[in-house]
């Protein structure tokens, strides 16, 4: 994080990335002094409502984040910035997105949690866009031209007002990660009476294990254990607000809908109270570790991995076999996970996989057979990307093996 004083004193000359959060109401003109070097500008968590018409003076600007501000429209000037390819305006008050505000070279567009009712009719001209996050808006439909976005790989449409499933998405050849729950066309949430309901006051939370967009996971023990569960469990307490993937209630619904599987973190019970929604799960043994890391600004939609991470081809084959069984299970339950990634995968020392995080999951039991088949094809495409990522972790010597060649035939690149 930088300061406005540093910027005004000229101490940031030559920086490539600038991050300012000081309740700004106006765009600081001193930013233009960085025009020869600035590539990433993060003005999130301020009180901005517009950008200067000469923003294009930042001739090297590739990435712009303005989340948690006061914008009511996506500024038209963005479309004039010839190098700008990643745009993030999450959690503003945006209701209007014009064609002029969208640079043709856009690869990453994040407009989550706004008030957008429609996209420009010519949205399909954004042929390079790979990542599109629109959850938590007021969209009633998508423009048919979106079929022109042939490089789209990740789309988030949950928690909108879509009256029908956007069939145009099924025509996209690379779409692999799709979330659409919480729209009027979606199946109703189930009560899942097959799972026990417990009182939150019966649980005592301890150390935090992890925190995501939809909630916080902690170790917990029982104050009162009415059903004889294990003494130590994991509890995910949902935040109760729209996230980058959708509504927490839909995450809980989808997680319980898929039920038990050898490669899923086992759900035990639910908490459903007026001021608290939570999921009680088996505690994952400490020797399980994350298989991958989330995508970066460079990789956009693809997972990242430590440079030193290498697996023998036999272990990769074992991992892929487990994920294949899991995807088949999802299809049988008519639930699209929507986030089939290595960074959502835990692995033990002996290669056993546990999978979780249903924040982007969507049920599709009520859709037509053709739509169901299309959604399952999208999910299997994610599996193909997963296989491709795994093969990137094997040794050069293993690439000449029959096992590698067999796996390569399943990969999507």
Structure tokens at 289: 């570790």
Residues 404 and 305 grouped into a single domain: yes
Looking at the DSSP assignment, which residues form a beta bridge with residue 234? 219, 281
DSSP 97: -
Is 294 in the same domain as 261? no
Q: Is residue 384 included in any domain, yes or no?
A: yes
Examine residue 380 and state whether it is found in any structural domain, yes or no.
Answer: yes
The pLDDT-based confidence of 393 (bands split at 50, 70, 90) is very high
Q: How many domains does the chain have?
A: 2
The pLDDT of residue 34 is: 97
Are 247 and 347 contained in the same domain? Answer: no
Boundaries of domain holding 230:
196-282
For residues 217 and 236, is the Cβ–Cβ distance under 8 A?
A: yes
User: Stretch 77-87: mean pLDDT, rounded?
Assistant: 97
Length of the chain measured in residues: 413
pLDDT value at 276 more than 90: no
The conformation of residue 148, written as its DSSP 8-state character, comes to: G
Q: What is the spatial distance between Cα 95 and Cα 81, in angstroms, rounded to a whole number? A: 22
Does residue 177 fall inside a structural domain? no
Phi-psi region of 383 (alpha: psi -120 to 50; beta: other; left: phi over 0): alpha
SS3 286: coil
Q: Is the pLDDT of residue 213 over 80?
A: no
Same structural domain, 260 and 326: no
Q: For residue 238, what pLDDT is reported?
A: 87
Are 253 and 301 found together in one domain? no
The CB density around residue 10, as the number of other CB atoms within 10 Å, is 10
Q: Is residue 131 part of a domain?
A: no
- pLDDT above 70 covers what percent of the chain? 100
pLDDT at residue number 136: 96
Separation CA 298–CA 284 (nearest Å): 31
Q: Provide the token pair at 353.
A: 């996989």
Residue where a domain stops, chosen among 226, 257, 282: 282
Query: 325 and 390: one domain?
Result: yes
- Residue 161, in any domain of the structure: no
CATH number assigned to the domain comprising residue 309: 1.10.510.10
pLDDT band at residue 140 under the 50/70/90 scheme: very high
pLDDT tens-place string over residues 163-179: 999 999 999 999 999 99
Name the nearest CA neighbour of 218 among 283, 274, 270. 283
CA-only gyration radius of the chain, Å:
23
The 10s digit of each residue's pLDDT in 285-328 is 989 999 999 999 999 999 999 999 999 999 999 999 999 999 99
Domain identity same for 269 and 295: no
Strand 353-355 relative to strand 345-347, pairing:
antiparallel
Domain end among 260, 282, 304: 282
CATH of the domain at 228: 3.30.200.20
Highest mean pLDDT range out of 12-26, 184-198, 207-221?
12-26
pLDDT of residue 243: 81
Measured distance CA(218)–CA(215) in Å, rounded: 10
d(CA 408, CA 402): 10
Q: Looking at residue 104, what DSSP letter applies?
A: T
H/E stretch holding 378 reads: helix 369-391
> 360-392: per-residue pLDDT in tens?
999 999 999 999 999 999 999 999 999 999 999
Q: Which whole number is the average pLDDT over 12-34? A: 97
- Compute how many other C-beta atoms are within 10 angstroms of the C-beta atom of residue 398: 18
At 298, list the tokens: 């460079």
Same domain, 266 and 247: yes
**Mean pLDDT of the region 331-336:** 97
Q: In the structure encoding, which two tokens stand for residue 118, read together?
A: 């429609």
Q: Does some domain include residue 123?
A: no
Same domain membership, residue 237 and residue 306: no
Contact 131, 154 (CB under 8 A): yes
Tell me if 376 is assigned to some domain.
yes
First to last CA, the chain: 36
Q: Quote the pTM value.
A: 0.94
pLDDT of residue 272: 82
CA–CA separation, 296 vs 298, rounded Å?
A: 5
**Whole-number average pLDDT of the chain:** 95
- Give the tens place of pLDDT for each residue, 47-69: 999 999 999 999 999 999 999 99
The answer to whether the annotation marks 59 as part of a ligand binding site is no
Does position 248 have pLDDT exceeding 90, yes or no?
no
Q: Are residues 300 and 269 in the same domain?
A: no
217 within domain boundaries: yes
Contact 148/172 with Cβ under 8 angstroms?
Answer: no
Q: What is the C-alpha separation between 212 and 244, in angstroms, rounded?
A: 10
Domain boundary among 247, 266, 282: 282
Region class of 99: left (phi > 0), else alpha (psi between -120 and 50), else beta = alpha
């Amino acid at each position: 994080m930088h300061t406005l004083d540093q910027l005004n004193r000229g101490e940031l000359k030559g920086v490539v990335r600038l991050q300012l959060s000081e309740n700004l109401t106006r765009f600081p003109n001193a930013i233009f002094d960085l025009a020869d070097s600035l590539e990433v500008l993060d003005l999130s968590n301020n009180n901005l409502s517009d950008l200067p018409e000469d923003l294009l003076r930042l001739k090297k600007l590739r990435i712009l984040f303005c989340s948690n501000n006061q914008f009511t429209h996506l500024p038209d000037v963005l479309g004039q910035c010839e190098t700008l390819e990643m745009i993030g305006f999450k959690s503003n008050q945006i209701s209007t997105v014009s064609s002029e505000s969208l640079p043709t070279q856009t690869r990453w567009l994040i407009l989550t949690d706004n008030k957008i009712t429609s996209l420009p009719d010519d949205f399909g001209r954004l042929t390079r866009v790979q990542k599109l996050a629109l959850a938590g808006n007021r969209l009633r439909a998508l423009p048919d031209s979106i079929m022109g976005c042939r490089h789209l790989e990740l789309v988030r449409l949950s928690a909108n007002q879509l009256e029908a499933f956007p069939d145009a998405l099924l025509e996209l050849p690379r779409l692999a990660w799709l979330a659409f729950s919480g729209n009027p066309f979606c199946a109703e949430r189930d009560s899942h009476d097959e799972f026990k309901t417990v009182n939150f006051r019966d649980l005592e939370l301890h150390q935090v294990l992890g925190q995501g967009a939809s909630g916080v996971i902690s170790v917990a023990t029982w104050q009162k254990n009415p059903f004889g569960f294990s003494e130590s469990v994991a509890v995910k307490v949902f935040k109760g607000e729209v996230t980058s993937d959708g509504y927490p209630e839909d995450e809980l619904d989808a997680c319980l809908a898929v039920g038990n599987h050898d490669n899923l973190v086992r759900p035990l019970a639910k908490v459903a109270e007026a001021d608290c929604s939570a999921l009680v799960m088996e505690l994952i043994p400490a020797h399980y570790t994350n298989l991958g890391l989330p995508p970066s600004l460079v990789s956009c939609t693809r997972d990242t991995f430590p440079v030193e991470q290498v697996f023998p081809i036999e272990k990769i084959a074992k991992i892929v076999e487990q994920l294949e069984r899991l995807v088949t299970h999802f299809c049988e339950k008519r639930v699209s996970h929507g986030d089939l990634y290595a960074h959502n995968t835990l692995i033990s020392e002996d290669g056993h996989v546990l999978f979780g995080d249903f924040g982007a999951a969507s049920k599709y039991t009520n859709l037509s057979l053709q739509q169901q088949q299309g959604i399952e094809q999208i999910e299997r495409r994610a599996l193909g990307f997963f296989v491709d990522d795994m093969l990137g972790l094997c040794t050069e010597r293993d690439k000449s093996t029959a096992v590698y060649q067999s796996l390569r035939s399943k990969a999507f690149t």
